[in-house]
């Protein structure tokens, strides 16, 4: 059985590259009209993603959106209402990482990571809920919010405490609003996704920073990448497409009884 998202509208944040790009392409290929969003500075990359989707006969458009800026959420959700009438799927994918010993970390860095990884997700949910409720009323399978947390939102890891703090917040935020929206009969399902190490620019950045700190006995980013692969029982990094496959399920009506769940897509890393 193939998954069909025809007639649905999805908004994906941080969709110019990495996991978000794979999510946007996958949802569009399944038939959804996809609003590809990312920072205005990522316009060229985002435009290429949209161009490839449209060239394949599917539907997408780009809207600039810095998720930490409330007025930008207001403007993008207003556009979605005017153009599509409502929203079926919100994928809060955009995020940033910080790799540093705690004692060198500043309050400003905590505020920076919180503004994006926590406030950005809160703002997205808050401003998209009225649009998602409209679809929840019309579709017994419910509208769907998918929030990106991390394996680091479940387990602790050295040199990533602020990132773990932010991703742990997303895990329980997602569960709490899943319960609240069910109790309020919004018919909006909410789930968090917890990737392990996935082969994107974020992991390249992490391996460089961690090897410079000598983490796990490594001294080069190549050694760190190998150490990353050994962190999970499957012994490799995940691909952006493997994360997009999980999002596809949660976005679709096939996951109609799934809410408040934390889906690990981590090669078994957090099962250990």
Q: Does 267 bind ligand NAD (CB under 6 A)?
A: no
CA distance 164 to 104: 16
At closest approach, how far in Å is the CB of 236 from ligand NAD?
Answer: 12
Q: Does 68 bind ligand NAD (CB under 6 A)?
A: yes
At closest approach, how far in Å is the CB of 217 from ligand NAD?
Answer: 20
Among 1, 103, 201, 271, binds ligand NAD (CB under 6 A): 201
Which residue blocks in the chain are alpha helix, DSSP H?
18-29, 43-55, 70-84, 107-114, 120-138, 161-183, 201-212, 221-229, 240-251
157 is catalytic: no
CA distance 2 to 16: 26
Cβ closest to ligand NAD, residue 87 vs residue 198: 198
At closest approach, how far in Å is the CB of 48 from ligand NAD?
Answer: 12
Containing H/E element for 195?
A: strand 188-195
Q: Does 148 bind ligand NAD (CB under 6 A)?
A: yes
Segment lying near ligand NAD (by CB under 6 A), choices 66-74, 177-185, 210-218, 245-253 = 66-74
Residue 29's closest CA among 57, 51, 8? 57
Residues 102-121 close enough to bind ligand NAD by CB under 6 A: 116, 120
Max CA pair span of the chain: 55
Cβ closest to ligand NAD, residue 24 vs residue 136: 24
Question: What residues have CB less than 8 Å from 238, skipping those under 6 apart?
Answer: 195, 196, 197, 198, 199, 265, 266, 267
Q: Does 19 bind ligand NAD (CB under 6 A)?
A: yes
Catalytic residue among 84, 157, 163, 186: 163
Containing H/E element for 90?
A: strand 89-92
Cβ closest to ligand NAD, residue 143 vs residue 243: 243
Cβ closest to ligand NAD, residue 119 vs residue 253: 119
Residue 152 sits at φ, ψ, to 5 deg, of -75, -5
Which residues are at the interface with ligand NAD (CB under 6 A)? 13-14, 16-20, 38-39, 42, 65-68, 93-96, 116, 120, 148, 150, 195, 197-198, 200-203
Q: Residues with catalytic annotation?
A: 163
């Amino acid at each position: 059985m193939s998954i069909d998202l025809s007639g649905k509208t999805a908004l994906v944040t941080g969709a110019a590259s990495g996991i978000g790009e794979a999510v946007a392409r996958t949802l569009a290929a399944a038939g959804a009209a996809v609003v590809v969003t990312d920072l205005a500075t990522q316009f060229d990359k985002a435009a290429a993603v949209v161009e490839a989707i449209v060239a394949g006969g599917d539907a997408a458009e780009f809207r600039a959106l810095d998720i930490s800026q409330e007025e930008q959420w207001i403007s993008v959700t207003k556009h979605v209402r005017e153009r599509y009438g409502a929203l079926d799927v919100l994928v809060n994918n955009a995020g940033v990482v910080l790799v540093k010993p705690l004692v060198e970390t500043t309050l400003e860095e905590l505020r920076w990571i919180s503004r994006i990884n926590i406030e950005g997700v809160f703002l997205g949910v808050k401003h998209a809920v009225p649009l998602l409720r409209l679809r929840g009323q019309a579709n017994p399978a419910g509208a769907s919010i998918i929030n990106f947390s991390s394996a680091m939102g479940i387990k602790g890891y050295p040199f990533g405490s602020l990132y773990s703090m932010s991703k742990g917040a997303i895990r329980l935020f997602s569960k709490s609003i899943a319960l609240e929206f069910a109790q309020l009969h919004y018919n909006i399902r909410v789930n968090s996704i917890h990737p392990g190490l996935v082969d994107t620019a974020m992991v390249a950045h992490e391996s460089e920073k961690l090897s410079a700190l000598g983490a796990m006995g490594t001294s080069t980013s190549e050694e760190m990448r190998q150490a990353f692969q050994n962190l999970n029982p499957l012994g490799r990094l995940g691909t952006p497409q493997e994360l997009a496959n999980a999002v596809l399920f949660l976005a679709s009506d096939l996951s109609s009884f799934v809410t408040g769940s934390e889906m690990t897509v981590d090669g078994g890393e957090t099962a250990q």
